[in-house]
């Protein structure tokens, strides 16, 4: 019963086989190899247009370096108050950007509404005394397991563009979002106004494969230099390329993400039907938030289950005595019988 995080799962057999294949012989370093060239074409095909692709080792590097490439003195980046860049990345964006400031906005189940974004924008007028608005950052799938539909992204991105802001998407779980939406990657990103995407592979079956996919290169002029100075220009880039080749071939990435989403949906269905537990809120991707009794949680942990408690402030209504809020994350490797066992123990 492994529901702690999707990156507790290993890499898929397809990814491991691709890594082994890429290990044959010599190849130019720093992305000058033929495989990296081919994989960039796979990204272009996936997004139905030319894109720049910059490999990194972690999602934090993708987020912080992409946003840092927009850097301006006094620059402001708007994001949800639950955003990973705000809550979990130890000030990486602020550090890499030389001190741009994140402005957390109200959110509901991980999503920022157009009304709240409009209110925030009014608080930070152009030429005002609080700094210079530079970017909007949205996470899809969100930190709360919900997803922004392309129309919702387009509305927020349209408001951002009206104010001259760049639009970033943290896609650490982009595969789960696309699999849940059934929209094309193009519709979910640049066609909705996204300028650059942190494209995550690690949480969805890769070993360590992340990339900054840039749709508006004119806005991120010095990204290459920033990546170099941050030590994120991977010398044996062919091994990252190999993982992405396996990832993007035959729709593997959506199959793996779809499986994770399905396992999450089974958890949700079981929890909705339970008289002993309930969903903290509805989600659609591979993260499920559940209210359990602390007794159930104790039994599950004693039986070897791994899952994390989640801060209760995220809940609309307070917990009763003896209840806990937990987060369950499924992955490409989650087994249906783990889900059944978890539900039966609840
Ligand atoms: C939404 C989101 N963005 C970014 C990251 C950062 O990824 P990494 O741990 O590879 O830096 C995570 C990791 O948990 C995440 O959940």
Domains of the chain (ranges, CATH numbers): 10-251 (3.40.640.10), 252-345 (3.90.1150.10)
Residue 133 to residues 5, 83, 207, 295: CA-CA distances in angstroms?
33, 17, 36, 47
Question: What separation in Å is there between the alpha carbon of 234 and the centre of ligand 1?
Answer: 19
User: What's the rounded mean pLDDT across residues 6-12?
Assistant: 97
Does 139 contact ligand 1 (Cβ within 6 A)?
A: yes
Q: Residue 142: which of 4, 343, 314, 11 has the closest Cα?
A: 314
Residues in CB range of 19: below 8 A, 6 or more apart: 11, 207, 239, 242, 243
Q: Which of 200, 211, 232 most suits a substitution to test ligand 1, by most atoms within 8 Å of the C-beta?
A: 200
**Is the CB of residue 202 below 6 angstroms from any atom belonging to ligand 1?**
yes
Q: Is 82 in the pocket of ligand 1 (CB under 6 A)?
A: no
Range of weakest confidence among 31-35, 241-245, 281-285, 312-316: 312-316
Mutate to test the pocket of ligand 1, among 58, 60, 329 (most ligand atoms within 8 A of CB): 60
Cα 62 from Cα 228, distance rounded (Å): 12
Q: Where are the beta strands (DSSP E) in the chain?
A: 52-56, 75-80, 101-105, 132-139, 166-171, 196-200, 210-214, 278-279, 287-293, 308-309, 323-329
Residue 312's pLDDT is 85
Q: Is the CB of 170 under 6 A from ligand 1?
A: yes
Dihedral pair phi/psi, residue 316, rounded to 5°: -70, -40
Length of the chain (residues):
346
Bridge partners for 100 per DSSP:
none
Distance (Å) from CA 287 to ligand 1 centroid: 13
As a whole number of angstroms, the longest Cα–Cα distance in the chain is: 62
DSSP strand pairing (75-80 vs 101-105): parallel
**Residue to mutate (ligand 1; options 55, 61, 84; most atoms within 8 A of CB):** 84
Q: So what's the pLDDT on residue 314?
A: 79
Nearest residue to 278 via CA among 346, 182, 221: 346
Instruction: Tell me, using a 6 A CB cutoff, whether residue 143 lines ligand 1.
Output: yes
**Is residue 34 predicted with pLDDT exceeding 90?**
yes
pLDDT band (50, 70, 90) for residue 186: very high
Question: Counting runs of H as helices and runs of E as strands, what totals does the chain give?
Answer: 14, 11
Q: Measured from the CA of 202, which atom of ligand 1 is nearest?
A: 10
Q: 3-class DSSP state for residue 61?
A: helix
- Is residue 80 scored above 90 in pLDDT? yes
Q: What are the tens digits of pLDDT across the range 85-128?
A: 999 999 999 999 999 999 999 999 999 999 999 999 999 998 88
Nearest CA to ligand 1 atom 5: 59
Provide the whole-model pTM: 0.97
Q: Which residue shows structure tokens 């409009």?
A: 118
- Is residue 66 lining ligand 1, measured as CB closer than 6 Å? no
Helices of type H across 182-251: 185-188, 223-229, 237-248
């Amino acid at each position: 019963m492994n529901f702690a995080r999707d990156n507790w799962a290993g890499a898929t057999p397809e990814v491991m086989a691709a890594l082994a294949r890429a290990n044959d012989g010599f190849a130019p370093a720093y992305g000058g190899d033929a495989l990296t060239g081919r994989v960039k074409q796979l990204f272009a095909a996936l997004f139905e247009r030319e894109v720049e692709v910059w490999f990194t080792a972690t999602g934090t590097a993708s987020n912080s370096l992409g946003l840092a490439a927009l850097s301006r003195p006094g620059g402001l980046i708007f994001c949800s108050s639950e955003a990973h860049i705000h809550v979990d990345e130890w000030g990486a964006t602020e550090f890499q950007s030389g001190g741009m400031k994140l402005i957390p906005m109200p959110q509901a189940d991980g999503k920022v509404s157009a009304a709240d974004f409009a209110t925030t924008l009014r608080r930070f007028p152009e030429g005002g005394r609080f700094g210079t608005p530079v970017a909007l950052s949205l996470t899809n799938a969100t930190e709360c397991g919900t997803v922004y539909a392309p129309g919702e992204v387009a509305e927020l991105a349209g408001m951002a563009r009206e104010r001259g802001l760049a639009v970033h998407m943290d896609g650490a779980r982009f595969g789960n979002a696309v699999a849940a939406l059934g929209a094309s990657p193009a519709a979910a990103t640049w066609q909705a106004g996204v300028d650059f995407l942190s494209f995550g592979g690690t949480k969805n079956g890769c070993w360590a494969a992340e990339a900054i996919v840039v749709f508006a290169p004119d806005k991120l002029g010095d990204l290459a230099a920033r990546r170099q100075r941050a030590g994120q220009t991977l010398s044996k880039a062919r091994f990252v390329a190999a993982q992405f080749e396996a990832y993007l071939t035959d729709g593997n990435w959506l199959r793996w993400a779809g499986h994770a989403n399905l396992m999450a949906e089974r958890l949700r269905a079981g929890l909705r039907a339970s008289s002993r537990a309930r969903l903290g809120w509805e989600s659609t991707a591979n993260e499920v938030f559940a209210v359990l009794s602390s007794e159930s949680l104790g039994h599950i942990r004693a039986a070897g289950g791994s899952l994390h408690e989640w801060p209760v402030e995220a809940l609309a209504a307070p917990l009763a005595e003896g209840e806990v809020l937990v987060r369950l994350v499924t992955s490409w490797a989650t087994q249906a019988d783990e889900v059944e066992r978890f539900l039966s123990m609840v």
